């Protein structure tokens, strides 16, 4: 009985051995848009990052976080003692939230800082800053006022403002985070407004 079953099995296998599926010359199951997709590079697992975008130490998202800090405008305000405070309007045009982290340069906890360098008529320079202490969400705009300068507003002839000078924010472009003003500030009517064109 076993011999008959063995012969039947061999005969069945021999009969189907010649059956093969012959593919057509063109692959009918491949879509045109799938043929153009290139394989993506696998990112190295990220462990030391904040905010933590990992799941069991592997990255959740295929692309690294991206923000685009845009310095929309700068202006100035004269204090009662004659010193100057620089006001900056910053917008996050990127696709990710900018989290508040400990800033290594200043020791403050914040999303980023805005640094302004003022130049007086005799060539002396002074730096002032403002820190965004809470996370900056996507497409949000914030207005930050710096601390007062030691130089008097009437002596200042140039103001250079840069957003995130420490490059903590993952901003790959960095073409729209600087503005410069030059001129003379009238203490009675202080105007140093510079707006970025859309």
4-58 pLDDT, tens per residue?
877 877 777 766 665 555 555 555 555 555 555 566 666 665 555 556 666 666 6
Lowest mean pLDDT among 42-51, 71-80, 151-160: 42-51
What are residue 113's DSSP bridge partners? 131
Question: Token match 């007086």: residue?
Answer: 120
Asked whether residue 81 is assigned to any structural domain, the reply reads yes
The two tokens of residue 34 are 């799938």
Kindly list the distances between the CA atom of residue 121 and the CA atoms of 76, 153, 155, 158, 182, in Å, as whole numbers in the listed order. Answer: 17, 11, 6, 9, 11
Asked whether residue 26 is assigned to any structural domain, the reply reads no
Which helix or strand (DSSP H or E) is residue 35 part of? helix 32-35
What pLDDT, on a 0 to 100 scale, did the predictor assign at position 127?
94
Asked whether residue 56 is assigned to any structural domain, the reply reads no
- Structural domain range at position 138: 69-195
Asked whether residue 55 is assigned to any structural domain, the reply reads no
Q: Which residues of 29-56 are buried (b: 16+ CB within 10 A; e: fewer)?
A: eeeeeeeeeeeeeeeeeeeeeeeeeeee
What pLDDT, on a 0 to 100 scale, did the predictor assign at position 171?
81
User: Which domain CATH number covers 141?
Assistant: 2.60.40.10
Kindly list the distances between the CA atom of residue 148 and the CA atoms of 24, 130, 178, in Å, as whole numbers in the listed order. Answer: 77, 10, 20
What pLDDT, on a 0 to 100 scale, did the predictor assign at position 122?
92
What pLDDT, on a 0 to 100 scale, did the predictor assign at position 158?
94
- For the cut 80, the answer to whether the pLDDT of residue 130 exceeds it is yes
pTM over 0.85: no
| Count of domains for the chain | 1
Query: Residue 70 and residue 20: Cα distance in Å, rounded?
Result: 62
140-155 pLDDT, tens per residue?
899 999 999 999 988 9
Residue 176 neighbours by CB distance under 10 Å = 16
């Amino acid at each position: 009985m076993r011999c008959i079953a063995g012969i039947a099995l061999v005969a069945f296998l021999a009969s189907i051995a010649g059956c093969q599926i012959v593919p057509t010359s063109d692959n009918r199951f491949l879509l045109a848009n799938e043929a153009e997709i290139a394989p993506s590079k696998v990112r190295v697992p990220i462990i030391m990052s904040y905010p933590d975008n990992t799941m069991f130490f592997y990255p959740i998202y295929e692309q690294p976080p991206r923000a685009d800090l845009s310095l929309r405008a700068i202006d100035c305000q004269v204090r009662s003692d004659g010193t100057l405070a620089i006001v900056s309007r910053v917008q996050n045009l990127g696709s990710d939230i900018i989290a508040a982290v400990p800033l290594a340069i200043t020791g403050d906890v914040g999303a980023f800082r805005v640094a302004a360098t003022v130049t007086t008529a005799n060539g002396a320079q002074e730096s002032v800053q403002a820190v965004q202490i809470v996370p900056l969400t996507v497409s949000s705009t914030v207005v930050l006022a710096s601390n007062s300068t030691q130089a008097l507003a009437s002596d200042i002839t140039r103001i250079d403002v840069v957003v995130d000078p420490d490059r903590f924010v993952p901003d790959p472009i960095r073409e729209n985070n600087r503005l410069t003003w030059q001129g003379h500030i009238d203490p009675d009517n202080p105007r140093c407004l510079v707006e970025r064109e859309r």
